């Protein structure tokens, strides 16, 4: 029932108090209900219109009041007048340009519908992993160096201490360029089988101290299947200085593996053979899937074949013969080199089960890395 | 390669279980890939590195075990009956360097035949077995005579008869040593169970007792040997010589091989009977009829063996070992071991002693070892005792030097041709100390990280491409000849040994790879695809190979993600053009010009070349429908190529802050109708020609064709924005400029609409 201004007969203070209270209560309640500019106007007219506005009716109180009460009623009426004007003004201000609750409700959307997407491209998991590796070594002071994908026999083999006709070359499954027969053996072109040639190129360019990482694409004559690809990526690293030891090699790679796979990862080094390093080592990390236990989900861990270790990279102290090719004095300097397959690390990190997925450009695969 | 741990235990009394043994060997560098089976049937799957042919057999691995566990290594001591003396065979020497040392039936009792120390001939001294000298600190003093002299000097006592006919080495450099002996009256039959079982365990097929004896010896001590049917050798002599052109040899695998003059053979007086060190001849092999056997154990030059084995496509257990370097000093012992096994299983008797023809000695120089160098390389001081003990077990002789520089002179055992330098010894010391026992340290470094010259540009383009919604992709580096012709004019680089015809040349363009990836997606139901690939293309330039950096974009399907919120729209030329413009924007340049001449594989009306200050830096557009059709692309695809070798001639734009405008901008719209041949570029250049300083932009807002606009014409709504940095523009100024714009556009043939 809408509020109407009563005609007063009792002008006692108490009665006035009540009448004023009722009016203010009604005013506030109605003000609150105002939700739009249009409603605001109706509200204003109802309370302030010269003809039949609530205030006009309140003025009647003064007219009807006995003389003795006129002063008190007048004061009261002025107060109410100010109160009404203030409230109306505030109400109008509130709804100016705004919307009522009902309007807001009507403007609502189904917020459970999917968002409007502006697709962002995904970094390739190989390049993303490669950049992570580079960043770990940059933080240790390594600069990035690059070299050509088509190399000479000299850089890919000879200067890395793979003599011609050495069985170690067999492990490389090299793809050769056609029409090289007329050239001297060391100038014959091939697709680099590792990024190690960049080591030689870097040392030719600069004098010790040297700290470089060499990321890049390499090629082998491997027919594609789930675990082989004719193209893959490596990051090679090289540090040469007057003070580099095998302990430094171990510490550096242990640090790098912890940075890449988490600080709880352990490393294990065991002897291996690469023509361009000596002593040479293979590095294993404690299995990141079973935490090095060899057991997972109540059975043997498949990722590390229950050994608790995963083989990850090759490394070693730079073979003194290599220094001979770049005019470094092996009596004065020492250094280490390491190389890791990026695909292998990405496969581990992301649990990819087929290396071909990296080279098909399948957006269903790539977008998972966005 | 497989080994039997039980067989290892013949030579070292190992207390550890097989799994632990496998782990310890692996950590010492003799990698055991897996362990299977139990007891006698247990098998180690080995992965021995190519530099360690000495560990590709049981005795060599047992030697490693003796070093790991500090245990004695038992010698291999063939027990042969003493034969009645016969006269020594006459021997023909080539080049005056060949010498025959008749040897008694039982030579030194050790597999570890010491490298010759040039012991004077006729001496009765017997070098003590290294195998029994374990744990001692005895140092065998350096003998007087230098190495490299002829003579084996292992025969105490009187000379014994050898092979009853001459053995002649014509190529002392390639086949420096040839040892042989004869067994007569042998019964050829299956091997005893133990031999057959052990060979079978290693996946070696037992053949007969004589052949199995050589095989067993190979797996036991790593020395390849060969047995001939003595009665099938013709002419009473054997030679080590080059094959003659036109000669053939049917090898044991039954293949008739044409020989070249580079091949080295063992021949009798009439014919080649063996491809030296690779495979024996079929016609002289042991058969059931064989009664008399010639056992051969020789040493061959590794490079020669490798070349010959490759030339004939014949990789054998023997060639595998010879090309990696066999033990020069084990020819006599292996010969005797084979003889022992044959006598045990097939009866018969020795005919004379061993004939050991040494045409040339193998030079293994001693190596100086400085403890300071061990420390400098490894970074930790190791106990001298440990170094000494380890190397001793492995067969090295350490001779302390007075004055300590070097600390030791180290004599290298004949089975370790891989050890030639101090660093090789340091590796031996490190690996048997255990790599994991060395501390992990980080080296100090005084240097700074240097950026690659184009690193910032690469990063800028890559992050923009990702932001524009292109997924990063990597495709193959090789393409087919056909694609190279279609997509590039660059001279191709061919591969000598491609994986297949489809991938036989280095890519001269990134486009075929991109189209393959787009097709791959379309064929799998992914219709909305955006990809980019950064990489090299390759160009033949005379004898050289050039690598040119490229970025390739591919887009097909919807321009925006389809959904309930907006209408679908296919990717268009202008999506690509916008992306191209966005990507080029960060570069510093004077003028960017789009021309209609793109390569032929593009749609002629929807493609463009981009010239930056007159040089082509990119081309892009829709792929020609014919090309798309050939590749079975079932929807329009768009491609953009960036030529980074040209683009990167430009630096990145150096940003200078421009004060923000303080006065309001005023916009004016113009609606014009133009003939179709008046392209926007013309309109734009015309208005730009007015050089209105306050005009901040001039852009097309809307274009209509059809409806009220007659054919051959189009309506265009153009908007000019004016603003001054110094003052609020007056109405009459703006009206004046607008009038000028209208005037020049009308002169261009435009008709101002209401």
ipTM rounded to 2 decimals: 0.84
CB of A360 within 8 Å of any CB in chain B?
Answer: yes
CB of B565 within 8 Å of any CB in chain A?
Answer: yes
Torsion of CA B323, B326, B332, B338, to 10 degrees: -70
CB of B447 within 8 Å of any CB in chain A?
Answer: yes
Strand partners, B529: B556
**Residue showing tokens 């249009």:** A38
Q: Closest approach of chain B CAs to the CA of A115, in angstroms? A: 9
pLDDT at residue number B512: 97
Q: Which tokens hold the place of B365?
A: 């120089």
The larger pLDDT score, comparing residue A66 to residue B10, is at B10
CB B350 within 8 A of CB B183: yes
pLDDT at residue number B116: 38
pTM, to two decimals: 0.81
R_g of chain A, CA atoms, integer Å = 42
Mean pLDDT of chain A, nearest integer: 92
pLDDT at residue number B107: 37
Strand partners, A341: A234
Q: Say how far apart CA B349 and CA B342 lie, in whole Å.
A: 9
Sign of CA dihedral B232, B237, B241, B243: negative
Min mean pLDDT across A30-39, B356-365, B631-640 is at: A30-39
pLDDT at residue number B161: 59
Give the Å distances, CA to CA, from B185 to B83, B208, B233.
Answer: 14, 15, 16
Of the pLDDT bands very low, low, confident and very high (cuts 50, 70, 90), residue A119 is: confident
Contact call for B28 and A280, based on CB within 8 A: no
Q: Closest approach of chain A CAs to the CA of B320, in angstroms? A: 9
Of the pLDDT bands very low, low, confident and very high (cuts 50, 70, 90), residue B441 is: very high
- The residues in A 120-179 lying below 8 A from B, measured between CB atoms, are 120-124, 126-127, 138, 140-146, 148-150, 165, 167-168, 170-171, 175-179
pLDDT at residue number A302: 86
For residue A324, say if its preceding peptide bond is cis, omega within 30 degrees of 0. no
CB of A266 within 8 Å of any CB in chain B?
Answer: no
Compute the average pLDDT of residues B323-352: 94
Instruction: State pLDDT tens for residues B179-238.
Output: 999 999 999 999 999 999 999 999 999 999 999 999 999 999 999 999 999 999 999 899
Torsion of CA A190, A193, A198, A203, to 10 degrees: -90
pLDDT at residue number A116: 86
Provide the terminal-to-terminal Cα distance of chain A, rounded to the nearest Å.
61
Chain A residue numbers touching B440 (CB-CB < 8 A): 247, 250-251, 254-255
Compute the average pLDDT of residues A120-128: 97
- Asked if pLDDT for residue B97 goes beyond 70, the answer is no
Compute the average pLDDT of residues A62-71: 86
CB B392 within 8 A of CB B412: no
The larger pLDDT score, comparing residue A40 to residue B529, is at B529
Instruction: State pLDDT tens for residues B379-423.
Output: 999 999 999 999 999 999 999 998 888 999 999 999 999 999 999
Chain A residue numbers touching B323 (CB-CB < 8 A): 167
Q: Which tokens hold the place of B188?
A: 């050829």
Q: Closest approach of chain B CAs to the CA of A52, in angstroms? A: 49
Residue of A143, A167, A177 with shortest CB distance to B495: A177
Contact call for B477 and A219, based on CB within 8 A: yes
Buried b / exposed e over B663-676, threshold 16 CB at 10 Å, is eeebebebbbbbee
CB of B542 within 8 Å of any CB in chain A?
Answer: no
DSSP one-letter string for B386-417: HHHHHHHHTTPEEEE-GGGSSSEEEEPPTT-T
């Amino acid at each position: 029932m809408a509020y109407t201004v009563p005609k007063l007969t009792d002008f006692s203070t108490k009665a006035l108090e009540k009448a004023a209270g009722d009016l203010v209560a009604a005013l506030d309640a109605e003000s609150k209900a105002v939700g739009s500019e249009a409603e605001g106007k109706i509200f204003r007219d109802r309370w302030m219109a010269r003809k039949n506005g609530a205030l006009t009716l309140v003025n009647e109180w003064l007219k009807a009041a006995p003389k003795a009460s006129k002063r008190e009623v007048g004061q009261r009426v002025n107060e109410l007048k100010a109160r009404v004007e203030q409230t109306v003004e505030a109400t109008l201000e509130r709804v100016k340009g705004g919307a009522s609750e009902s309007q807001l409700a009507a403007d609502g959307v189904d917020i459970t519908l999917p968002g409007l997407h502006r697709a962002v491209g995904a970094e390739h998991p190989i390049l993303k992993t490669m950049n992570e590796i580079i960043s770990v070594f940059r933080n240790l002071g390594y600069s990035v160096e690059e070299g050509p994908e088509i190399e000479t026999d000299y850089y890919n083999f000879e200067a890395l201490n793979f003599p011609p006709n050495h069985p170690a070359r067999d492990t490389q499954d090299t793809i050769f360029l056609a029409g090289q027969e007329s050239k001297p053996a060391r100038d014959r072109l091939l697709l680099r089988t590792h990024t190690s040639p960049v080591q030689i190129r870097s040392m030719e360019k600069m004098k010790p101290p040297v700290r470089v990482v060499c990321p890049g694409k390499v090629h082998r004559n491997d027919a594609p299947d789930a675990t082989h690809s004719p193209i893959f990526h490596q990051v090679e690293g090289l540090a040469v200085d007057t003070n580099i030891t095998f302990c430094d090699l171990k510490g550096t790679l242990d640090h790098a593996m912890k940075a890449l796979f988490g600080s709880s990862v352990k490393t294990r080094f065991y002897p291996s053979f690469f023509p361009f390093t000596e002593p040479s080592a293979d590095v294993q990390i404690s299995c990141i899937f079973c935490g090095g236990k060899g057991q997972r989900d109540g059975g043997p861990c498949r990722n590390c074949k229950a050994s608790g270790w995963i083989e990850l990279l090759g490394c070693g102290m730079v073979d003194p013969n290599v220094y001979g090719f770049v005019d470094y004095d092996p009596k004065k300097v020492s250094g280490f080199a390491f190389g890791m397959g990026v695909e292998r690390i990405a496969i581990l990190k992301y649990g990819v089960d087929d290396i071909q997925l990296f080279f098909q450009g399948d957006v269903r695969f790539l977008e998972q890395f966005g | 390669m497989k080994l039997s741990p039980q067989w290892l235990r013949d030579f070292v009394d190992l207390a550890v279980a097989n799994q632990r043994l496998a782990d310890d060997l692996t950590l010492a560098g003799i990698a055991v890939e897996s362990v299977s089976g139990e007891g006698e049937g247990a098998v180690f799957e080995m992965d021995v590195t190519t530099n360690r042919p000495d560990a590709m057999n049981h005795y060599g691995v047992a030697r490693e075990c003796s070093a790991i566990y500090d245990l004695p290594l038992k010698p291999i001591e063939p027990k042969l009956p003493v034969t009645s003396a016969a006269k020594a065979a006459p021997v023909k020497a080539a080049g005056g360097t060949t010498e025959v040392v008749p040897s008694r039936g039982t030579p030194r009792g050790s597999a570890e035949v010491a490298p010759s120390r040039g012991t004077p001939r006729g001496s009765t001294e017997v070098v003590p077995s290294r195998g029994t000298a374990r744990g001692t600190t005895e140092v065998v003093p350096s003998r007087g005579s230098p190495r490299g002299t002829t003579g084996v000097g292992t025969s105490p006592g009187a000379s014994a008869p050898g092979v009853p006919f001459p053995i002649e080495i014509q190529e002392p450099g390639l086949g420096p040593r040839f040892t042989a002996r004869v067994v007569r009256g042998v019964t050829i039959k299956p091997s005893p169970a133990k031999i057959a079982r052990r060979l079978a365990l290693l996946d070696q097929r037992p053949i007969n007792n004589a052949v199995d004896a050589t095989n067993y010896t190979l797996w036991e001590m790593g020395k390849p040997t060969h047995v001939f049917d003595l009665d099938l050798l013709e002419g009473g002599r054997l030679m080590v010589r080059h094959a003659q052109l036109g000669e053939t040899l049917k090898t044991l695998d039954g293949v008739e091989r044409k020989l070249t003059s580079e091949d080295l053979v063992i021949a009798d007086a009439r014919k080649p009977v063996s491809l030296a060190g690779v495979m024996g001849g079929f016609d002289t092999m042991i058969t059931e009829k064989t009664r008399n056997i010639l056992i051969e154990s020789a040493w061959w030059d590794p490079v020669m063996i490798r070349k010959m084995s490759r030339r004939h496509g014949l990789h054998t257990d023997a060639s595998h070992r010879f090309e990696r370097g066999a033990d020069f000093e084990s020819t006599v012992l292996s010969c005797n071991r084979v003889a022992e096994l044959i006598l045990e299983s097939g009866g018969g008797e020795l005919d004379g002693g061993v004939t050991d023809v040494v045409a040339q000695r193998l030079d293994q120089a001693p190596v100086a070892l400085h403890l300071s160098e061990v420390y400098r390389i490894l970074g930790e001081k190791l106990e001298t005792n440990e170094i000494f003990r380890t190397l001793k077990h492995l067969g090295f002789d350490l001779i302390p030097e007075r004055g300590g520089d070097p600390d030791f002179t180290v004599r290298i055992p004949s089975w370790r041709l891989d050890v030639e330098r101090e660093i090789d010894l340091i590796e031996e010391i490190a690996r048997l100390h255990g790599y994991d026992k060395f501390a992990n340290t980080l080296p100090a470094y005084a240097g700074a990280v240097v950026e690659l010259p184009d690193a910032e540009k690469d990063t800028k383009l890559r992050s923009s491409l990702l932001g524009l919604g292109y997924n990063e992709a990597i495709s193959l580096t090789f393409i087919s000849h056909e694609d190279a012709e279609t997509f590039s004019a660059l001279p191709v680089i061919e591969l000598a040994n491609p994986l297949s015809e489809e991938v036989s040349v280095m890519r001269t363009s990134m486009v075929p790879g991109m189209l393959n990836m787009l097709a791959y997606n379309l064929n799998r139901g992914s219709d909305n695809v955006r990809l980019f690939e950064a990489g090299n293309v390759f160009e033949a330039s005379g004898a050289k190979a050039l690598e040119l950096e490229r970025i390739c974009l591919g887009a097909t399907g919807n321009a925006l993600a389809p959904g309930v919120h907006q209408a679908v729209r296919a990717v268009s030329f202008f999506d690509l053009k916008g992306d191209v413009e966005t990507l080029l924007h960060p570069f510093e340049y004077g003028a960017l010009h789009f021309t209609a001449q793109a390569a032929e594989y593009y749609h002629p009306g929807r493609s463009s070349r981009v010239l930056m200050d007159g040089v082509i830096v990119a081309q892009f557009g829709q792929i020609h429908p014919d090309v798309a059709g050939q590749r079975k692309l079932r929807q329009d695809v768009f491609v953009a190529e960036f030529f980074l070798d040209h683009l990167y001639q430009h630096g990145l734009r150096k940003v200078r802050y421009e004060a923000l405008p303080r006065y309001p901008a005023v916009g004016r719209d113009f609606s014009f109708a133009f003939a179709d041949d008046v392209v926007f570029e013309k309109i734009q250049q015309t208005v730009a020609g007015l050089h209105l300083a306050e005009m901040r932009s001039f852009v097309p807002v809307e274009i209509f064709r059809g409806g009220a606009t007659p054919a051959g014409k189009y309506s265009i709504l153009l908007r000019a924005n004016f603003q001054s940095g110094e003052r609020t523009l007056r109405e009459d100024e703006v009206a004046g400029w607008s009038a000028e714009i209208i005037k020049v556009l009308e002169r261009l043939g435009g008709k101002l609409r209401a």
